[in-house]
């Protein structure tokens, strides 16, 4: 209960039951760390865009009636459709209970998490099928990531400009 520090030294040794050398431990750590970092990035992007999607839905529902706002509403609905399509590629929002995975297919982040779980092992070794699947998923992720970056960096700012020009506000950018 004070400002007392205690220190010790330890050496972590390889488990002698597994024929694993330092390079194999290093590869396992790098692969697992890389996948965990990517899935964290994915989830942050999904959550961020979902918040923006809800903001856009609110903005569209509060647009004043009248011919003046028809084009703005049409543009906003097109952006909303694009945002929802990306979200639907990334996560399955229809699953509410454990058994729902039988009724609704997994989406990208679930497949990526499955790979992480399949690769994780008490024996710190990454097998070739896991590396091959990671390569496939990372290629898909590169496409999905460029799509969300386009939405965030081009589409939302363009729509926000139209909203500001109409004197109506904008989608917040985090």
Residue 15 lies in a domain: no
Instruction: Give the residue numbers spanning the domain of 64.
Output: 22-93+100-165
Residue 173 lies in a domain: no
Residue 72 lies in a domain: yes
- pLDDT, residue 135, reads 97
Residue 40 lies in a domain: yes
As given in the structure block, the two tokens for residue 109 are 């982040």
Per residue of the chain (174 residues), give pLDDT as tens.
Answer: 678 899 999 998 888 888 888 899 899 999 999 999 999 999 999 999 999 999 999 989 988 888 888 999 999 999 999 999 999 999 987 776 677 666 778 889 999 999 999 999 888 889 999 999 999 999 999 999 999 999 999 999 999 999 988 888 787 765
CA atoms of 22 and 1, how far apart (whole Å): 40
Helix %, strand %, coil % for the chain, to 5?
70, 0, 30
For the chain, what is the domain count?
A: 1
Residue 41 lies in a domain: yes
Rounded to two decimals, what is the model's pTM? Answer: 0.83
CA atoms of 39 and 117, how far apart (whole Å): 12
């Amino acid at each position: 209960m004070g400002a007392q520090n205690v220190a010790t030294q330890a050496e972590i040794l390889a488990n002698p039951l597994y024929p694993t050398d330092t390079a194999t431990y290093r590869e396992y750590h790098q692969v697992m760390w890389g996948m965990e970092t990517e899935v964290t990035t994915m989830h942050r992007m999904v959550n961020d865009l979902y918040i923006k999607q809800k903001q856009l839905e609110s903005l569209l529902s509060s647009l004043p009636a009248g011919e003046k706002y028809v084009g703005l509403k049409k543009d906003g609905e097109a952006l909303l459709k694009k945002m929802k399509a990306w979200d639907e590629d990334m996560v399955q929002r229809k699953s509410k209970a454990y058994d729902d995975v039988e009724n609704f297919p997994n989406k990208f982040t679930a497949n990526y998490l499955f790979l992480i779980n399949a690769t994780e092992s008490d024996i710190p070794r990454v097998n070739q099928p896991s590396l091959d699947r990671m390569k496939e998923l990372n290629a898909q992720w590169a496409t999905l990531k460029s799509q969300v970056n386009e939405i965030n960096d081009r589409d939302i700012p363009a729509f926000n400009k139209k909203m500001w020009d109409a004197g109506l506000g904008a989608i917040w950018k985090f």
